[in-house]
């Protein structure tokens, strides 16, 4: 399990249930913004090209571990043609300790995560997924499961403009 990724999930899922796709996209936005500012990701993860957008390589394993340890609650909602999965942090979590642990090795990480949550919370999962498909590093990856080259985001002015308009840069 990636502990930093786990901290990110816990903070993002604080308060309300968060759809799986939205959770993955919010993690991506946190990491990509930190990457633009610092040349590295918060989570130290690589990202893979998957049908609904970029996903951290160890996201599923980390999420399953958090559920098994009763740190995340999972809610399944059956729709006509699919099953939706949503997640919420256990209310017993000490969020200040998590923020402190995050910022210890990643200065300003908890502030970026908080900013992403605040400024993207009104977006639907599908909207966030569509946004990630418009820009680098998504566009350059050819095959499903291919590792995304995050450094390509530094040259994508359109993406940086979108991030700025949403008060993320």
pLDDT band (50, 70, 90) for residue 2: confident
What is the pTM (predicted TM-score) of this model?
Answer: 0.93
pLDDT digits (tens, 9 = 90+) for 134-154: 999 999 899 999 999 999 999
How much is the pLDDT for 112?
96
pLDDT score at 12: 93
Buried b (16+ CB within 10 A) or exposed e, 73-102: eeeeeeeeeeeebbbbbeeebeeeebbeeb
Mean pLDDT of 113-123: 95
Dihedral over Cα of 25, 75, 65, 70: its sign:
positive
Residue 93 has pLDDT above 70, yes or no: no
pLDDT value at residue 20: 97
Residue 122 has pLDDT above 70, yes or no: yes
User: Per-residue pLDDT tens for 16-71?
Assistant: 899 999 999 999 999 999 999 999 999 999 999 999 999 999 999 999 999 999 99
């Amino acid at each position: 399990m990636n502990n930093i990724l786990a901290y990110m999930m816990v903070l993002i899922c604080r308060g309300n249930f968060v759809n799986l796709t939205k959770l993955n996209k919010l993690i991506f936005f946190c990491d990509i913004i930190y990457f633009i500012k610092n040349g590295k990701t918060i989570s130290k993860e690589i990202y893979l090209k998957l049908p609904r957008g970029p996903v951290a390589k160890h996201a599923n394993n980390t999420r399953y571990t958090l559920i098994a340890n009763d740190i995340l609650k999972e809610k399944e909602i059956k729709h006509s043609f699919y099953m939706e999965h949503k997640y919420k942090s256990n209310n017993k979590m000490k969020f200040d300790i998590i923020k402190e642990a995050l910022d210890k090795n990643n200065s300003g990480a908890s502030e970026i995560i908080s900013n992403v949550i605040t400024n993207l919370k009104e977006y639907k999962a599908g909207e966030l997924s569509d946004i990630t498909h418009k820009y680098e590093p998504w566009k350059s990856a050819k095959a499903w499961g291919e590792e995304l080259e995050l450094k390509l985001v530094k040259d994508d002015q359109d993406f940086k403009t979108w991030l700025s308009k949403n008060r993320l840069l």
